[in-house]
Amino acid sequence: MYYRHLDSPVGRLLLAGENDALKLISFPKDRYARSAEPDWQRDDGPFRETVRQLEAYFAGELTDFDLPLSPSGTPFQLSVWQALRTIPYGETWSYGQLAKAIGRPTASRAVGAANGANPLPIVVPCHRVIGSTGKLTGFGGGLPIKAALLALEQKDNEEPQQAFAFLDQT
């Protein structure tokens, strides 16, 4: 497995992957934050396109990622993560909507657990899932980062970096 770090507006992200596919993005303050394993190799090369697309996203210039991904999970988790990729940029869905999208309308809690286990946040946009009341709910990177990502994606956002300004103060 290869890895590198990326300094971003939401903190220093750990990117990891193998065979030219991204497997992991980890936030530094995530309750499940990952560190590079001893047998991983530091190499920026495999992540050039990932870095380019993430930087374009944070600049407000990219709305849809096109990267080879290889997340590890159960078939149920993989179906949830695939459905997350269909949530349009700038929109949010509830856990119930996501459960319906995968054909499991009564599985909101299981969908929430799968959403929380997403190993590729931002690229697989789990931040676009909110509670049925419209409130922001759990996010591995923390609710301030979730709010910043959602603010970045607002259609009327003419200054994308403003979405992250308040993170410097937290």
Q: Which residue has the higher pLDDT, 45 or 51?
A: 51
User: What are the sequence ranges of the domains in the chain?
Assistant: 2-58, 75-156
Among 1-5, 29-33, 104-108, name the most confident range.
1-5
CATH code at 75-156:
1.10.10.10
Q: Is the pTM of this model over 0.85?
A: yes
- Tens-digit pLDDT profile for residues 53-109: 999 999 999 999 999 999 999 999 999 999 999 999 999 999 999 999 999 999 989
Mean pLDDT of the chain: 90
CATH number for 2-58: choose from 3.30.1240, 3.30.160, 3.10.50, 3.40.50: 3.30.160
157 pLDDT tier (thresholds 50, 70, 90):
low
Closest C-alpha among 45, 38, 36 to residue 12: 36
Q: What is the per-residue pLDDT for 170?
A: 47
In the predicted structure, residue 122 carries a pLDDT above the cut 90: yes
In the predicted structure, residue 49 carries a pLDDT above the cut 80: yes
Please, which residues have CB within 8 angstroms of residue 55's CB and are 6 or more apart in sequence?
8
Q: Count of CB atoms within 10 A of residue 32's CB?
A: 10
Which of 87, 126, 129, 150 is catalytic? The answer is 126
Q: Report the DSSP pairing between strands 41-42 and 2-8.
A: parallel
In the predicted structure, residue 143 carries a pLDDT above the cut 70: yes
Catalytic-residue membership of 114: no
Q: Give the start-end residues of each E strand in the chain.
A: 2-8, 11-18, 21-26, 41-42, 93-94, 129-130
Rounded to an integer, what distance in angstroms lies between the CA atom of residue 51 and that of residue 41? 17
Q: What is the per-residue pLDDT for 105?
A: 92
Rounded to an integer, what distance in angstroms lies between the CA atom of residue 111 and that of residue 77? 8
Rounded to an integer, what distance in angstroms lies between the CA atom of residue 4 and that of residue 72? 19
